[in-house]
């Protein structure tokens, strides 16, 4: 199994609370994503065994939701909001700044596999724009200085092997 015993236990614990097992699909996908950082066919099969819902139904749901990458990413997935409130306060420039700092284009991963950079739609952080999400954390009111400090800090963490503390 790719899913850890802890993840499986967590999925089961969530599943029994719902009147119907199928409702546990999204919670199960979330648990798997939190453990693995992405989803794929193998993971759908394993979830299928745990919650006893056909693999196809799990894949059907999973492929609808954009929050879960369907292939491995860098250790830190940088998601920059480029929707209107952030765009008005420089989201495009933020993306360009990150591209130049990381030496990659939007949609790419750094060669050391530490950072992947993508843009996303509104993250509900409009009054603290511009912003980005890394892991489950929001970084808000971003400036060039703040971005420098965040990237330095994460790179150091990754090199020290503390990536899981995002």
Contact flag: residue 129 with another protein (CB under 8 A): yes
The residue (of 35 and 138) whose beta carbon lies closer to another protein is 138
Query: What residues contact residue 69 under an 8 Å CB cut-off, 6+ apart?
Result: 37, 38, 39, 77
Contact flag: residue 67 with another protein (CB under 8 A): yes
Neighbours of 134 (CB within 10 A): 18
Judged by CB under 8 A, the number of residues near another protein is 55
Query: What residues contact residue 98 under an 8 Å CB cut-off, 6+ apart?
Result: 78, 80, 117, 132, 147
Contact flag: residue 44 with another protein (CB under 8 A): no
Contact flag: residue 78 with another protein (CB under 8 A): no
Strands 137-139 and 132-134: antiparallel
Q: Which residues of the chain form contacts with another protein (CB under 8 A)?
A: 17-20, 22-27, 29-30, 53, 57, 60-62, 64-68, 82-85, 87-94, 96-97, 120-130, 133, 135-138, 142-144
């Amino acid at each position: 199994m790719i899913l850890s015993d802890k993840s499986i236990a967590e999925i089961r614990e969530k599943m029994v609370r719902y009147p119907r097992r199928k409702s546990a699909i999204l919670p199960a996908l979330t648990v798997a994503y939190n453990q693995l950082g992405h989803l794929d066919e193998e993971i759908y099969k394993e979830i299928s065994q745990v919650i006893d819902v056909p693999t196809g139904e799990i894949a059907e749901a999973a492929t609808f939701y954009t929050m879960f990458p369907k292939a491995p990413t860098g250790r830190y997935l940088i998601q920059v909001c480029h929707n209107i409130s952030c765009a008005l306060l420089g989201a495009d420039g933020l993306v360009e700044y990150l591209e130049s700092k990381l030496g990659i284009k939007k949609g790419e991963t750094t060669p050391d596999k530490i950072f992947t950079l993508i843009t996303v739609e509104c993250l509900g952080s409009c009054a603290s724009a511009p912003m980005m999400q890394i892991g489950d954390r929001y970084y808000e009111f971003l400036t060039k200085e703040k971005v420098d400090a965040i990237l330095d800090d994460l790179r150091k963490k990754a090199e020290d092997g503390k990536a899981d503390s995002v």
